[in-house]
Amino acid sequence: MKLQSYYFDATGKAYQIAERIAREYRVKADKIPPAYQPEREAVLFVTIESGNAPEPVTKFLRTLTPAKAKSIAFCVIGKNLDGLETMKEAVKDTGVKIHDNVYECHVERGGLFKKAKLTQEQIDHAIVWTEEVLAAQQQG
């Protein structure tokens, strides 16, 4: 099954998950906007950090068509899921299916001066989520 892993972030957390998915399925993780547009992909995995969806992400999502991708699955890192609804709205009129299974990865700060980091367990759980999305794609 053809798939792609895309990400958009400032701190590297989204990259960690996108890269892990890419390694597991032997595809390339690409930053949004991608260097090359997707073509006949079964699933696009899009990972962003929480908050508002940045303009490059929504612009990329609006360009999707069923010829580029059959479906899209979102992973949002953080507690603020406002960007998720914006991304879903951008894809809604394209004809690309949006998977209901969204990976919400909540990252906790380590303390007053420690940066929030992804745990290995959270990164590994992204692969479990990916497998669930791919199983759903094959069934429907």
Query: Residue 112 — pLDDT band, cuts 50, 70, 90?
Result: low
Cα–Cα distance between 39 and 83 in angstroms, integer? 25
pLDDT at 53: 83
Domain ranges of the chain: 3-139
What are the pLDDT digits (tens) for 51-83?
A: 778 899 999 999 999 999 999 999 999 888 888
Q: Which CATH superfamily is domain 3-139 in?
A: Flavodoxin domain (3.40.50.360)
The answer to whether the CB of 48 falls within 8 A of the CB of 77 is: yes
pLDDT at 83: 85
Q: pLDDT at residue 49 above 90? A: no
pLDDT at 99: 96
The answer to whether the CB of 62 falls within 8 A of the CB of 86 is: no
pLDDT at 68: 96
What is the residue whose two structure tokens read 């995995």?
45
pLDDT mean over 18-30: 95
pLDDT mean over 36-50: 93
**Where is mean pLDDT largest: 8-12, 95-99, 135-139?**
95-99
Query: Residue 88 — pLDDT band, cuts 50, 70, 90?
Result: very high
Q: pLDDT at residue 30 above 70? A: yes
Cα–Cα distance between 57 and 7 in angstroms, integer? 9
Query: Residue 114 — pLDDT band, cuts 50, 70, 90?
Result: low
